[in-house]
Structure 1
């Protein structure tokens, strides 16, 4: 361990920023490595400065929290405690204690310039990606994910369409529909497959978070004032159109999660926004050998993984929202500082923060259960429905691999059909293939977290990223 310990934080979303600020405040040198041009992650995604947004806060909530994070980061950067590497796509982290770690990233216009960041410890705040469940017509232009719609609104100040249907399940649908309304779209309907009764078993947990109930009620009230039709326990059966989506068919669900015959109705629209929740990003953690639990990075009470010197926080350790990510990041940053300086976290405030994290995790688990996708969603897929867009593999081809060729898991289906072998490496189609096979989506096992030029792998030694806080750099 160096006399001047150094932490590399991968990701500048809520968890990464909270961890960086907590560690830097306790004397740790921090390098934040992030792919985006500005800090904030998906939740606090900022429009490009060239767009000249006059009121970027209009499409955000918890803006004051973001201002504290932003100003705290700027202060530590100016003081030389933190350096923020923007536009750096981390593709690999190698090493282990006591020798330290090296974070490998690519930068430049085409992500071809390699950079290496040495560190005594690594904190993975890699966030999550969307869970995509296909249906007939989902590949039509004008059909996009909930996160994609938010990215267009927040990052590009672009309205994806004028007449939108928001569908799927999960707490993200409400703010997405609200954001579309605020930007001037006509939201025809919000279609949620969750049944209201699914929340009854979690009433006590939900009641312990009145702020979240008030937030959800505010979204719902604004939708009702704007006469947005809210269809609970409904689902999208199909999207229709030629050159782009022109209408969607929705239908009610029965108690088993099947479409109730005779309840179908057609809604005209030019945009369909669909979300079915999120999945943790675990590529870097898996390549480092960190243990995974239920598709998320397993951590202890201090957010430490089972690989010494590696911490994880935020959505990578389980989907729970920005507030939980901030809390986990703060805990992780304090833990890193204590461990790097060979001490233990201060127990005077540790227990209070840990109790807050426990309550937030309980809420996340309750919402995850209540917002489960329809149990029979695969029955809606026709054999001609594309499942893997990269390799153009249909649901029929996957079913043939399972029913006739004997594939018993997603990996075998991949070998027989090429589903998951394309550019996204199964991130988009993995959940769908697993659902058709009849099992859970297996954890990703990839040596690289993003595409890497062969020239980098051929042995070109990257220059270390300059550190303005060190005189010998």
Structure 2
């Protein structure tokens, strides 16, 4: 184990640093360590699993899909002597220090300063979570597996208490056993709505309806992808059976276009949509609900690849993702990307990409070559799953007709309370022609979330107003953040003291 002055006198240099402990990160870390690489797995959550396998202590996995895979990875995580697991540890910046000779990257993190897992000082019940002094972790290669979060589209009333993202509702249920409300409307687009609604119904909530803005039958136009992934089709059919058993209405080409209430949600307006997602006149009606769960796909967390100068692209679903090669290598040397950060495709695809990234990162650092049979199997599985993801993106598009649901008073940026009208003024009156300039003039994206919530919507609004499609550069402009997660001045000060 070596050290470098660039990282501080007490920092070990790992062969591989994996960012995120979801399906991609767990798979990458276990694969790298199994090939002889000294590996560190850094994650902000108290337990591994990410959003997909989010769970409470002692959870038997009854509510979780593919739980056996998680348990296997968890066992391997605990058994690997070369793998340090650091939960409750958030990475806020990654850099390549000038003059370092024995490492390429330094991870700046918050949270506990000691490894968690084999050889760590704590027990599974010890307090965990961000809040300790800022720490530095040095590594020769980095695997970015930071996942994604719910993409949000604004609509009148979306800032009311009682309006949640679909992922937040699921996280409450999986992580805390809490049902978000009594009468819940689930709306948006994409297959993720199905497990969310099914989980709520099984937990005892009254799901007043699932309102799918798209038309899932469009998936039938991709028979090859369907045949290669029959298990995933069966999974979706299982969720639909659960909804039928609980008599949950499922409506297509329909969504929530407004939420109502003063201090909390008391109802919502749902309406039929045409192919371009404009409201069909005369179809709006009010439903009785106290909670609205909405999800329009996912926004990949790409702050770290952007920080490291990786080449980015706009994916088929409109997301900004890192460009990778067949080995999951990004365009920046020493950086690998797996899971949603290189393309939203679900947990199974993330796990396969993570395993590939871990194997190839280990090969670079230790020279241990993975078996050809193993690689061939992973590559075939990745191809099949990517074809299914591509079919989903085409079957569940997000047309820009949703912008017609908005009026000038609709909040676009909830952190800074910037309205749609204020953004349109910046475009029409002040001449702003891109999201970055709109941000400077009207302040969307300058609040606590730094554009994570409103960045996509702002990009779409600006592009529509200027008569063009959003570009990767537009999205990169709202995704570039030198600080990838919140860090206090006290944590920064404590970290700087280490170098004195």
What TM-score results when the alignment is normalised by the length of structure 2?
Answer: 0.87
Between Structure 1 and Structure 2, how many residues are aligned?
456
Unaligned runs of 5+ in 2: 4-12, 113-128, 315-319, 464-468
Match of 1:174 in 2: 194
Find 2:26's aligned residue among 17, 26, 39: 17
Q: Does 2:259 correspond to 1:224? A: no
Q: Does 2:105 correspond to 1:70? A: no
Could you tell which deviates more after superposition, 113-122 or 172-181? 113-122
Match of 1:391 in 2: 416
Unaligned runs of 5+ in 1: 465-473
Given that 1:88 and 1:106 are in contact with CA atoms closer than 8 Å, whether structure 2 keeps it comes out as: yes
2-side partners of 1:257 and 1:460: how far apart?
49
Given that 1:59 and 1:182 are in contact with CA atoms closer than 8 Å, whether structure 2 keeps it comes out as: no
Find 1:249's aligned residue among 245, 257, 269: 269
CA offset at residue 255 of structure 1? 2.6
Report SS of the residue matched to 1:60: coil
2-side partners of 1:289 and 1:201: how far apart?
37
Find 1:154's aligned residue among 157, 174, 181: 174
What TM-score results when the alignment is normalised by the length of structure 1?
Answer: 0.92
Given that 1:248 and 1:269 are in contact with CA atoms closer than 8 Å, whether structure 2 keeps it comes out as: yes
1-side partners of 2:102 and 2:428: how far apart?
50
Q: Does 2:80 correspond to 1:60? A: no
2-side partners of 1:394 and 1:448: how far apart?
25
2-side partners of 1:143 and 1:72: how far apart?
39
2-side partners of 1:57 and 1:379: how far apart?
42
Given that 2:185 and 2:293 are in contact with CA atoms closer than 8 Å, whether structure 1 keeps it comes out as: yes
CA offset at residue 372 of structure 1? 1.4
CA offset at residue 6 of structure 1? 2.1
**What's the C-alpha RMSD, in Å, of the aligned pairs?**
2.0
Given that 2:38 and 2:83 are in contact with CA atoms closer than 8 Å, whether structure 1 keeps it comes out as: yes
Find 2:432's aligned residue among 379, 401, 407: 407
Match of 2:340 in 1: 315
Which whole-Å deviations, capped at 9, do the CAs of 1:128-160 have from their partners, x for residues lacking one?
Answer: 122110101111111100110011001111110
Given that 1:116 and 1:462 are in contact with CA atoms closer than 8 Å, whether structure 2 keeps it comes out as: no
Match of 1:28 in 2: 37
Find 2:480's aligned residue among 424, 435, 445: 445
Match of 1:461 in 2: 496
CA offset at residue 457 of structure 1? 4.9
CA offset at residue 258 of structure 1? 1.1
1-side partners of 2:369 and 2:86: how far apart?
29
Which whole-Å deviations, capped at 9, do the CAs of 1:313-357 have from their partners, x for residues lacking one?
Answer: 111111011000100011111111212123654333312211211
CA offset at residue 73 of structure 1? 0.8
CA offset at residue 459 of structure 1? 8.6
CA offset at residue 462 of structure 1? 6.2
Given that 1:258 and 1:374 are in contact with CA atoms closer than 8 Å, whether structure 2 keeps it comes out as: no
Find 1:42's aligned residue among 35, 51, 61: 51
1-side partners of 2:261 and 2:268: how far apart?
9
Which whole-Å deviations, capped at 9, do the CAs of 1:63-90 have from their partners, x for residues lacking one?
Answer: 11111111111111xxx22111111111
CA offset at residue 58 of structure 1? 2.6
Aligned pairs for 1:278-317 (under 5 A) are 278-294=298-314, 295-317=320-342
Could you tell which deviates more after superposition, 339-348 or 364-373? 339-348
Match of 2:215 in 1: 195
Could you tell which deviates more after superposition, 407-416 or 90-99? 90-99
Q: 1:302 to 1:243 in 2, by over 3 A?
A: same
